[in-house]
Structure 1
């Protein structure tokens, strides 16, 4: 029985050398690569994917593209989750069309996902959404990648975990709403620098990890918080986008 096959491939945090051997083999096995275009501002993200495909893909392969739906990132409070679900649903429709129209029954398609698709990404939820609708059927496999969290701790030469202490992975929005819920907190994509005022924490911050634009700052929040805010604002204004991650670690009470 002929069946469509889909690969969701983690490609790392930005350095082409982050690509694992398993991911390189998966790229070589794909017949069609699906690219969801986020517009001119984020062409850097498309360019890295295309470079990896050119380097590791096995011709003849094809590139199939769809436009990423616009997403409302300003919705406050409880309505934010509904706005994300609406965007994800519209993105699922675009991806469903790609799989249905661009992938033959005996072919393998691939989405190249920034970082690790199992850590902080919507692709797996979108794939499951497509399957649940029943308009197109396929088998799929997930290939893990080096996440921005792994890249961050490696670049700062620190461990993600400490003995007997949990780590909380959250967003800047939730940090602002809930405050730190553990002594070690990893925060993804914090547009508002919600670490402000957490002066009993040390911060390891990184943006554009693994790329030539990488920025790293580490130190007590009280001492480096303003610098991070300035660097983040300047970088976003210069490039038009920013992806950053940081680890907050509570400083032990010396008293």
Structure 2
């Protein structure tokens, strides 16, 4: 039996770990750490730093190379194939390092429940015949870190919020019927497709970390600032994790 623990680690700050997450990290037999290429080596280093801060005694760790998702063809099929490849690597690593079963942890940025596919990949292990239980230790999401950094509420009074992706915002525009949206997994400033009139944006990158960057203001003024800052930060660090919230002025508020 393999007991898989998916541990939300927030946005890279060891202080984001809950006490439950710390207990779990110290109780497992193996921690799997993905390598994502030299340009993103900071991400591996951050996971090592988080483990170093949380562990009271040594726990075995195993690094593995993450497969690269293909960029051509159908997006959904490419992601599906990518998840299959990741699940196969997990199964291989578990078989090598825990041949008799045990407890294994994966450290998940933010929280495993929100725009993260770790749980879906874990389901593939069951489908492949791995005798598996899954437990999630929730973490601080990038949305929580963003609203805290800007000291703002997520929603307007009695209003809904839509959480979407940069890909969908670029393809479909502003979702109908809502005045607040949060955009995640945006690879390239999708807010630039919008008419900025009446829209305010709160943007954050590397939230909770030493290199945290924040921009807030009317979208018309902030969009070029964010695009320039994002490009500069990505060039400097080799990777970027950012998220933003936008609120549209209500027509009946005028």
CA distance in structure 2 between the aligned counterparts of 1:161 and 1:86, rounded to whole angstroms? 36
**SS of aligned partner of 2:159:** coil
Question: Runs in 1 of length 4+ with deviation above 3 angstroms?
Answer: none
Q: TM-score, normalised by structure 1?
A: 0.93
Count the aligned residue pairs.
249
User: Partner of 1:187 in structure 2?
Assistant: 183
1:137 aligned residue: 131
1:144–1:27 CA distance, 2 compared to 1 (3 A) = same
Aligned counterparts, 1:59-208, within 5 A: 59-73=57-71, 75=72, 79-134=74-129, 136-181=130-175, 182-196=178-192, 197-199=194-196, 200-208=198-206
1:4–1:104 CA contact under 8 A, matched in 2: no
> 1:246 maps to what in 2?
244
Unaligned runs of 5+ in 2: none
Shift of 1:106: 4.9
Q: Which moved more, 1:145-154 or 1:93-102?
A: 93-102
Q: CA RMSD in A?
A: 1.5
Tell me the residue number matched to 1:20.
18
Mapped to 1, the partners of 2:49 and 2:232 lie a distance apart of 27
Q: CA-to-partner distance for each residue in 1:69-93, whole Å, 9 max, x for gaps?
A: 01124x47xx111111111111111
Work out whether residues 29 and 57 of structure 1, in 8 Å CA contact, stay in contact via their aligned partners in 2: no
* 8 Å contact from structure 1 (residues 29, 58) kept in 2: no
Moved more, 124-133 or 163-172: 163-172
Q: Structure 1: 5+ residue runs without aligned partners?
A: none
